[in-house]
Amino acid sequence: MKVLMFGWEFPPHISGGLGTACYGLTKGLAQDGVEILFVMPKASGDEDESIGRIINASEVEASGAILANEFWHNVSFLSVASTLIPYLGVEDYETLQEESMSEKSYVSHLGGKYKFTGKYGANLMEEVVRYAMVAATIARNSDFDVIHAHDWLTYLAGIIAKRVSGKPLVIHVHATEFDRSGENVNPQVFNLEQLGMQQADAVMAVSNLTRNIVITRYGIDESKVFTVHNAVDFSGREEVSVKRTLDDKVVTFLGRITFQKGPEYFIEAAAKVLKRYPKVRFVMAGSGDMMNRMVKRVAKLDMGTRFHFTGFLRGEEVNQMYAHSDVYVMPSVSEPFGISPLEAMRTGVPVIISKQSGVSEVLSHALKINFWDVNALADSIYALLAYPSLSKMLIRCGMDEVNSFSWDDTAKLVKSIYKKVLYS
């Protein structure tokens, strides 16, 4: 079986969990005999091609005529200049909007090679559309059985590949606009997501939580929506040993500092914990549109000497951060899945997660709270700091539990969905 897979990022150059999930799933599928053609906007040449062929969209000649004749009239609402960026703050958006109006940069339909950035920048929507144009050429010139598109950024590419080839389309919902923006959804993103779900022959959601959103908020027939939980791959990962120079305990938040991740709840809980357990330091590792607001809130709560902002971490820096931690907290407002708690558990760190996360559906040995319940979050953090026996139990049982998760099992389920759309 051959799969034409569209993704936006792939290790080692990633911005979040999407690229990590794409790699784990692709590796699992390759081990199960599935041949993968993985298309990404910009390849760096150091991607692991032992698990599939990487196609660099920046090196493919796009045919604008194909898109215009066979598809463009169906998505005319996209023919705009856009400074759409996921998780961008209001002030930054206004600045980019002014720059965009002065530059007057519009999507071209003339074809040719496009040099994608592969980032989530000011011209993101333009890149999404051009990526779909390139997909038409790739679909015409490649041999495959099924199309698999990851997240909304690649849904247009998946749709046009289906139109060009006549092959079935499976889309993978790693997050929805409701997860990212709450009720203040961006209509362009929502429309793209809904279009992808409607055109797909099967929709894979990373949790039951996400599956329910797909069905109820996007109006998709439940019979074609399947839950496929993520996993985690620890092969080749060495144990990290760090020397602790402080006696203080360390409680860590690691993720985008944005609405979806609930950073404000972490800070409010930290203030409550410090009143009961002063020998603790809190770390917020990451970057995002709420960073400045969170720094100001920490200062107002007079926690400056007990609260640390590291900025964005990657690779070995993340592993080092886990190794320095005594408690890991993921207080997400809406988390489709959430791989970071599994990574923390594998490092021997007890975790606290919100019940509004997909990973809470598969974890038994983690403390679970409602994201808005700051008192419950503070109590949970305090309990893990003050009662070593509880922490040790969660570490021991959590390690056994997380080691049972495998991308191989996830890949088998995905392969069965491929067969379902192929032979139905």
What CA–CA distance (Å, rounded) separates 210 from 352?
A: 20
Is residue 226 within a helix (H) or strand (E), and if so which, with residue range? Answer: strand 225-227
CATH of the domain at 140: 3.40.50.2000
Crossing angle between the packed helical segments 17-31 and 407-423, to the nearest 10 degrees: 70
Greater model confidence, 47 or 238: 47
The pLDDT value given to residue 63: 64
What CA–CA distance (Å, rounded) separates 290 from 123?
A: 21
Show the DSSP H helices in 301-387 as ranges: 316-324, 340-346, 374-386
- The pLDDT-based confidence of 207 (bands split at 50, 70, 90) is very high
Residue 62, domain extent:
2-231+407-423
Mean pLDDT within 236-241? 67
- Whether 149 and 66 map to the same domain: the answer is yes
Q: Which string of DSSP letters, residue by residue, matches 242-281? A: -----SSEEEEEES--SGGG-HHHHHHHHHHHHHH--SEE
- Whether 31 and 81 map to the same domain: the answer is yes
Range of weakest confidence among 139-148, 225-234, 259-268, 349-358:
225-234
- Whether 418 and 397 map to the same domain: the answer is no
pLDDT in tens, 386-405: 999 999 999 999 999 998 88
- Whether 113 and 187 map to the same domain: the answer is yes
The pLDDT value given to residue 28: 94
The pLDDT value given to residue 355: 96
What CA–CA distance (Å, rounded) separates 29 from 38?
A: 12
β-pair partners for 352: 329, 367
> What is the number of structural domains in the chain?
2
- Whether 219 and 273 map to the same domain: the answer is no
- Whether 170 and 212 map to the same domain: the answer is yes
Residue 6 CB partners (closer than 8 Å, separation 6+): 39, 131, 135, 147, 148, 149, 150, 154, 157, 158, 161
pLDDT in tens, 74-86: 444 333 334 444 4
Quote the mean pLDDT of the chain: 86
Q: Is the pLDDT of residue 152 over 50?
A: yes
Share of the chain above pLDDT 70, in %: 85
Within 10 angstroms of residue 54's Cβ, the number of other Cβ atoms is 19
What CA–CA distance (Å, rounded) separates 369 from 360?
A: 10
- Whether 293 and 329 map to the same domain: the answer is yes
Greater model confidence, 49 or 267: 267
What CA–CA distance (Å, rounded) separates 313 from 242?
A: 17
Q: Is the pLDDT of residue 238 over 70?
A: no
The pLDDT value given to residue 62: 73
- Whether 175 and 276 map to the same domain: the answer is no
- Whether 136 and 101 map to the same domain: the answer is yes
Greater model confidence, 77 or 116: 116
What CA–CA distance (Å, rounded) separates 27 from 89?
A: 35
Q: Work out the burial of residue 366: count CB atoms within 10 Å of its CB; fewer than 13 is exposed, 13-18 middle, 19 or more buried.
A: buried
The pLDDT value given to residue 96: 43
Q: Is the pLDDT of residue 420 over 70?
A: yes
Determine, yes or no, domain membership for 6: yes
Q: Is the pLDDT of residue 231 over 70?
A: yes
What CA–CA distance (Å, rounded) separates 400 from 50?
A: 29
- Whether 155 and 224 map to the same domain: the answer is yes
- Whether 28 and 107 map to the same domain: the answer is yes
Where is mean pLDDT largest: 66-80, 106-120, 268-282, 400-414?
A: 268-282
- Whether 270 and 325 map to the same domain: the answer is yes
The pLDDT value given to residue 124: 82
Determine, yes or no, domain membership for 240: no
Query: What does DSSP say about strands 307-311 and 280-285: parallel, antiparallel, or unpaired?
Result: parallel
- The pLDDT-based confidence of 220 (bands split at 50, 70, 90) is very high
pLDDT in tens, 331-361: 999 899 988 899 899 999 999 999 999 999 9
- The pLDDT-based confidence of 95 (bands split at 50, 70, 90) is very low
The pLDDT value given to residue 109: 45
Q: What is the pTM of this model?
A: 0.82
